[in-house]
Amino acid sequence: QVQLQESGPGLVKPSETLSLTCTVSGGSITSAYWSWIRQPPGKGLEWIGYVYYSGSTNYNPSLKSRVTLSVDTSKNQFSLRLSSVTAADTAVYYCARDRLDSASGMDVWGQGTTVTVSS
Amino acid sequence: DIQMTQSPSSVSASVGERVTITCRASHDISSWLAWYQQKPGKAPKLLIYAASSLQSGVPSRFSGSGSGTDFTLTISSLQPEDFATYYCQQANSFPWTFGQGTKVEIK
């Protein structure tokens, strides 16, 4: 079955760019849409955006000016870049398979990776 | 953005009890609603999609209902492994938005 694994630095300095990668195993990245979601400590879930294998994207307007999602089909990976980070971007970041084409929800999630923004 | 409001924010219940969580959308979202369960330190897990469809592998004690703006997640007989936080999420229009969560605690 499809599994997802996030990877990337756990500590990012303020004003720098956060970069994370999600590796898809057990299935093809061309089979679905792929979303990123984050969760600040002790708080709820915030959808960041999705990327499709074709490269099409949709971003949360609250982050749109700072977010870039991309996909590498040759590696079965997709990535998140968030620029000009502040302490407010400290969160657990999750990648997920988004069955938005069939309205079937986000059915596979990575375990999450904690990113702290601090100097 | 569509705002999702859950109630209650927390509920205390005993094993075997029936638990109901409500989610209200600020606009009509038809049946484009999902429910997730999250345990501490873990990723959310999809329970229900399209308001009432049970995700494969999820116990039948979980059920969802509703359409338009008002939705309900019901746990018919609470089990020890069900103590967690539950989130609703609308999938009608971007950006996807979540409710603030309902924590189900042991009474």
HEC sequence for B40-81: CCCCCEEEEECCCEECCCCCCCEEEEEECCEEEEEECCCCHH
- Tell me what the mean pLDDT of segment A61-76 comes to: 96
User: Do A103 and B50 lie within an 8 Å CB cutoff?
Assistant: yes
Q: Which residue has the tokens 């329970």?
A: B47
Query: pLDDT class for B39, splitting at 50, 70, 90?
Result: very high
Chain A environment of B99 (Cβ under 8 Å): 44
- What is the pLDDT at residue A103? 82
Planar angle of CA B75, B80, B83, nearest 5 degrees: 65
pLDDT in tens, A89-100: 999 999 999 998
Query: pLDDT class for B59, splitting at 50, 70, 90?
Result: very high
Tell me the CA distances in angstroms from B79 to A15, A23, B83, one per residue in order: 46, 34, 8
pLDDT at A101 over 90: no
CA distance A2 to chain B (A): 14
User: Do A45 and B53 lie within an 8 Å CB cutoff?
Assistant: no
User: Do B98 and A44 lie within an 8 Å CB cutoff?
Assistant: yes
What value does the mean pLDDT of chain B take? 97
- What is the pLDDT at residue B45? 98
For A88, the 3-state DSSP assignment is helix
- What is the pLDDT at residue B36? 98
Task: Report the relative pairing of strands B62-67 and B85-90 from DSSP bridges.
Answer: unpaired
